[in-house]
């Protein structure tokens, strides 16, 4: 088994798709250390040849892995050499899909990133809403929210809200469960009125303790006993108001956001 491997993501567009594809596969091999580099906007044979020359100079003799989503067959062919392990992210799937659909694919670089003005406007609107309603700001405007994320401090509310807005185009607000609400096991009226769109985030006391220690080491705020009490109080609030809640412990932002949307029946904006 290889102890380390060089991974290169080659794209004729931004490279976001091929990175996601490659990383979704390589993460299944935690015992190997991967050294990654992305080369976006490789659209000519000359650019491809220069890129391959650089790759071979860095990884000569070590059979680097190349993930590609290049559409142009001549440009793509430059990288399909016996000295490298070449994985084409599109060729097989598009060929198969063309046969299935009995239609010709566009095969246009970066087409998935093309958005009309209306779609972009809605995405920007969601981002602005998220930023204007972060950490309990402007709760009177929660009627406009598609999702309201609740949780104690450092439970992951803001990162999830930002991801929902920037990556999924969802208007998301988030509200902190501070001592005022935890001690009374209550929520403000603006959330109660919109609780059908509210979801709680929880975590384990140990994970919360570690997160808070990084920010305010050895404080009462970061003590394990404080974290344990707040997690229990928050869960009691979620149960009291019949509100679904999700544990963030050991999960990525992407996983949490997907689980939130699944739980609440909210879809990514197309």
Interval 61-88: pLDDT, tens: 789 999 998 988 899 999 999 999 999 8
Find the mean pLDDT for residues 34-44. 93
Position 109 scores a pLDDT of: 60
CA angle 18–21–24, rounded 5-degree value: 145
Reported confidence tier of residue 256, pLDDT bands at 50, 70, 90: very high
* Higher-confidence position of 14 and 136: 136
User: What is the distance between the alpha carbons of residues 88 and 67, in angstroms, rounded to a whole number?
Assistant: 6
Please give the DSSP secondary-structure letter assigned to residue 174.
Answer: E
Q: Is the pLDDT of residue 181 over 90?
A: yes
Reported confidence tier of residue 2, pLDDT bands at 50, 70, 90: confident
Count CA atoms within 13 Å of residue 132 on its CB side.
13
Return the percentage of the chain with pLDDT > 90, whole number: 68
Position 170 scores a pLDDT of: 93
Spatial CA neighbour of 229 closest among 152, 150, 149, 136: 152
Reported confidence tier of residue 156, pLDDT bands at 50, 70, 90: very high
User: Residue 189, class by beta-carbon neighbours within 10 Å (0-12 exposed, 13-18 middle, 19+ buried)?
Assistant: exposed
36-45, 47-56, 104-113, 169-178: range with lowest mean pLDDT: 104-113
The pTM of the full predicted model, rounded to 2 decimals, is: 0.66
Backbone dihedral angles phi then psi of residue 149, each to the nearest 5 degrees: -100, 125
Radius of gyration of the CA atoms of the chain, in A: 23
Position 20 scores a pLDDT of: 85
User: What is the distance between the alpha carbons of residues 38 and 60, in angstroms, rounded to a whole number?
Assistant: 17
Return the percentage of the chain with pLDDT > 70, whole number: 91
Reported confidence tier of residue 176, pLDDT bands at 50, 70, 90: very high
Find the mean pLDDT for residues 31-56. 94
Residue with tokens 């491997």: 5
pLDDT digits (tens, 9 = 90+) for 183-232: 999 999 999 999 999 999 999 999 999 999 999 999 999 999 999 999 99
Reported confidence tier of residue 107, pLDDT bands at 50, 70, 90: low
Position 98 scores a pLDDT of: 73
Q: Please report, for residues 16, 18, 114, 115, 184, the alpha-carbon distance to residue 105 in angstroms, rounded to integers and kept in the order given.
A: 20, 18, 16, 18, 59
Looking at CATH, the fold of the domain delimited by 4-113 is given as Rossmann fold (3.40.50)
Q: Is the pLDDT of residue 44 over 90?
A: yes
Reported confidence tier of residue 149, pLDDT bands at 50, 70, 90: very high
Find the mean pLDDT for residues 2-20. 88
Position 21 scores a pLDDT of: 86
Q: Which residues does residue 200 pair with via DSSP β-bridges, in sequence order?
A: 150, 245
Q: Cβ atoms within 10 A of the Cβ of 259, count? A: 17
Sheet strands (E) in the chain? 4-10, 33-39, 65-68, 85-88, 147-151, 172-176, 198-202, 245-247
Position 120 scores a pLDDT of: 72
Q: Is the pLDDT of residue 27 over 60?
A: yes
Tokens matching residue 231: 């997690």
CATH 3.40.50 in the chain is located at 4-113, 117-264
Q: Is 36 left (phi over 0), alpha (psi -120 to 50) or beta?
A: beta
Class of domain 117-264: alpha beta
């Amino acid at each position: 088994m290889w102890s380390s491997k060089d991974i290169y993501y080659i794209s004729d567009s931004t490279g976001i798709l091929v990175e996601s594809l490659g990383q979704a596969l390589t993460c299944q091999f935690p015992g190997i250390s991967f050294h990654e580099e992305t080369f976006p906007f490789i659209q000519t044979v000359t650019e491809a040849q220069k890129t391959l020359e650089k790759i071979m100079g860095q990884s000569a003799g070590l059979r680097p892995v190349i993930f590609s989503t290049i559409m142009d067959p001549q440009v793509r062919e430059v990288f399909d050499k016996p000295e490298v392990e070449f994985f084409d992210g599109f060729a097989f799937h598009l060929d198969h899909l063309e046969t299935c659909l009995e239609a010709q694919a566009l095969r246009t670089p970066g087409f998935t990133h093309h958005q009309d003005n209306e779609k972009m406007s809605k995405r920007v609107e969601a981002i602005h809403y998220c930023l204007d309603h972060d950490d309990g700001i402007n709760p009177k405007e929660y009627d406009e929210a598609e999702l309201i994320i609740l949780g104690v401090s450092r439970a992951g509310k803001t990162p999830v809200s930002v991801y929902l807005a920037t990556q999924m185009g969802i208007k998301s607000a988030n509200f902190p469960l501070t001592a005022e609400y935890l001690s009374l096991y209550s929520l403000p009226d603006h959330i109660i009125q919109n609780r059908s769109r509210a979801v709680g985030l929880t975590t384990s006391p140990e994970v919360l303790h570690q997160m808070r220690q990084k920010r305010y080491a050895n404080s009462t705020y970061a003590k394990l006993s404080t974290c344990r009490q707040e997690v229990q109080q928050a869960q009691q609030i979620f149960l009291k108001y019949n509100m679904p809640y999700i544990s963030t412990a050991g999960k990525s932002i992407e996983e949490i956001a997907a689980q939130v949307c699944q739980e609440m029946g909210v879809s990514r904006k197309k």
